[in-house]
Structure 1
Amino acid sequence: MLLKDREIPIEIFILEAILRRLPYNHLKRPKVEEDLRKRYAGYYGEQSIDYHLSFLEDNKYMFLHNLRLPWKDDTYFQIDSLILSPSYIILLEVKNMTGTLFFDEPAKQLIRTKTDGTQECFSYPITQSNRHVLQLNSWLRQHKFPNIPIISYVVISNSSAIINTNSNDPNFYEKVTHAVNLPEKIHPLIDLYPNKILTVKKLNKIAEQLVSEHTPSKPAMLERYGIKSEELQKGLFCEDCKKLSLKRNRGSWKCTSCNSVSKDAHLRGLADYFLLIDNTITNQQFRSYFHIESRSVAAKLLQKSNLPTSGSYKDKTYHLSLSELEKWMTRN
């Protein structure tokens, strides 16, 4: 049973918004484009996992993807995929990488060798996976749930990647696997862990608690690239010609470049604003950022957006939470 689907990462929405508003000749644009390609590759890699998980018996498991849970001192830990059963929990650490992947056990590092011979070093996925098991165990104890075995796998989603290691652990290839092997690794667990520790009621309670404590984040990606908000172009984006050239015309948005018409282009624009600038917006800020002259027109558009508000009529502020923003982006 799927209880929490795999959403498009918020980083992808932010990078796309940056590229919509970053001038084509900006020095940081190639880096943003490269990172967006990597983010999409990672997302598609995680999606491919879901196909292989579909071979498991759906009525025996609960699936939750992309969880971000509170840890200690206002920090969080993230889990790519979690599979719940009455007898055990399966935790998946998903890596979407190509080339030759060398798991250097003594140095606790992952070295990737690309087809052109260049190498990159990454954090050791097994260490990450073990840490997430520790954190999830702590989370379960904190909520007074029964002690239950947690089995973790590092899953390489790209089937063309070559896995090598210098590890002396005979169980290394039980911990690290290609995605296609997941069903045959998971199926035997039913016999290895026959004792049902959790009732259906308790299992549902754990799943509900996990979903309720999932806390999305909105990383400050402009700061990460050293891009100031003043460097971004204002206005509304035309979905047809990909230019910031929409103007208000007789109750619609008309593109001054290709003449296409949109009724709700301001919704995508508002999403860009919330992704890149702030979680709140006023009438004056709305008019300034999207080149709207009329205060009353701006007020009507904001009102129709059905955003929560605070303040009086003249000082009204419109809010959009991150969880609502994610729903908005997938809807619009």
Structure 2
Amino acid sequence: MKKSRRVGILGGGQLAKMICDSAKKMNYKTTILDPNIESCGKLSANKHIIADYNDIKGLNILCENADIITYEFENVPSETIDYLEKMRKDIPQGKKPLHLSQHRIREKEAVKKIGVKTAEFRKVQNIDSLKKALIEIGYPAILKTCSGGYDGKGQWKLLDEKNIFEIKWSDNQEYILEKMIPFQKEVSCMVIRGTTGDIVAFPIGENIHKNGILNMTIVPARISKEIAKEIESISKKIVKDLDIYGPLGIEYFIKDNEIYFNEMAPRPHNSAHYTMDACNYSQFDIHLMGILGEKLPEIKLLTKVVMLNIMGEDQEKVKKIKKEHNMNVHIYGKSEWKKDRKMGHINYCGENLEELILKADSF
């Protein structure tokens, strides 16, 4: 029996829930801090502190209940980490990965500086600077808010000049204009660096989106072994050269065998949920092992897999699901089913990848 360790988690959504589920298997106690009284993470955590992320009383309670603290989303205020470190709490990831991933320009500049290829980009503040940047970059391009956007929100495709007038500008927001890459594949790699210095990467996933939201991830990705090996190498380089610890989900575009960094998130990643049923260890297991200083094991893909997201509009379909062999359904337990809200996922496992894709498509 392993010694019981207490893990604190900032955030209480589905990622926190799945971290807590892994912690139970490993005999760790978990406490989540989340302002939402209905957060689904409470279904698996040992304790739920209902407080804002800058609530000193709540953070003090978290400190009392945790030996080590991690986070499940990238928009945790940096001041929160500052306070916890002031309280001498062990936060292996620190705030550096948050600082980078919370701002798209900082993120892009950091990876570009270490020699990783990105799409051409410019900083934009208003319509005048946008027009100037478009002269330099050209169409098609995509404008994104530098912070706060997710699942296609805060983004505008600019195919020609008339799209400029569709943008909803905000005075207190910074923007990034990126040259749109006509990629053949979008892929992602979950890489985790432990406090021991060990670095492991999970198999590359091929991502298919609908309406700007991840629909399914296909593993192994339908790319060459050479490209897969290069993506794994780049991912390990990013965590090492940027001195990042813990999990990092990194998205890439592939165009004519060229690999372009898209974005990263210092937490478990939706595209790596397949690891729960198709690998010898899940991303959540390795996240915990990494921050707790355990030696990281070799990751093995045990079966081919297609991960399909279940959205709020799929509620009636879920009620009619007929469980099949090698079909693993994970429902997060969120209180309300809403359109475009991630409510769960299904992992279709087997040896015939095209058959698994058809099954996911026909859900």
Question: Which is strand-richer, 1 or 2?
Answer: 2
TM-score (norm 2): 0.25
Higher relative contact order (CA 8 A, sep 6+): 1
